[in-house]
């Protein structure tokens, strides 16, 4: 799919505020409300926009500890096996296979250090896990949604 400047501008605006009206979106990019709606509908139909969501502040919801865990698996473990092993933990909010020594990196949110430690122990006890290495986030410096760059 090829995105033109208007598509990119609409996506950027939706990323800032997914609840913006089509009239507001259109005004901001120089389109009518109906033209903005048609473009957003096309972006959804073609898969560039997969849905609309809300961004939450984990700390406001009681998740005071954030950490990243490198997962080193036994033997040759498939991405599906890794996903199946970690998906049962609601504290794992992101999981990705990665290049380098580790097989995967997990982002974990926990209520406190004891909670993080318990989750880490439970993940480490999974049959596919040989070892883990973790780092804790002290201060998030920059968080932004992915937005395509203008051409």
The H or E element containing residue 51 is: none
| Contact residues for 83 (Cβ-Cβ < 8 A; gap 6+) | 95
Q: Quick one: pLDDT band at residue 100, thresholds 50, 70, 90?
A: very high
14-38, pLDDT tens digit by residue? 988 999 999 999 999 999 999 999 9
Which residue, among 23, 95, 93, has the nearest Cα to 55 in the 3D structure?
A: 93
- Per-residue burial over 2-34, b = 16 or more CB atoms within 10 Å of its CB, e = otherwise: ebeeebbbbbbbbeeeeebebeebbeebebeee
Quote the DSSP letter at residue 58.
G
- Nearest CA to 119 out of 96, 136, 141, 100 is that of 136
**Does 87 have pLDDT greater than 70?**
yes
Average pLDDT over residues 106-128: 97
Position 49 scores a pLDDT of 94
Tell me the residue length of the chain: 151
**What is the pLDDT at residue 56?**
84
CA angle 15, 18, 23 (to 5 degrees): 110
- Stretch 69-79: mean pLDDT, rounded? 95
Please state the pTM of the whole predicted model: 0.79
Burial code of 100-138, b = ≥16 C-beta within 10 A, e = fewer?
Answer: eebbbbbebbbeeeebbeebbeebeebebbeebebeeee
């Amino acid at each position: 799919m090829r995105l033109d400047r208007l598509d990119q501008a609409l996506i950027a605006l939706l990323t800032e505020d997914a609840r913006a009206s089509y009239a507001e979106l259109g005004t901001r990019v120089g389109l009518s409300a109906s033209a903005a709606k048609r473009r957003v509908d096309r972006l959804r139909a073609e898969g560039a926009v997969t849905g609309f969501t809300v961004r939450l502040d984990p700390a406001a919801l009681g998740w005071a500890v954030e950490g990243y865990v490198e997962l080193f698996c036994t033997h040759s473990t498939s991405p599906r096996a890794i996903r199946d092993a970690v998906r049962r933990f609601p504290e794992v909010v992101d999981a990705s296979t990665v290049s380098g020594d580790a097989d995967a990196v997990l982002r974990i949110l926990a209520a406190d250090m004891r909670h993080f430690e318990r989750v880490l122990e439970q993940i480490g006890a999974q049959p596919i896990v040989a070892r883990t290495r973790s780092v804790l986030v002290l201060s998030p410096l920059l968080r932004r949604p992915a937005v395509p760059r203008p051409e």
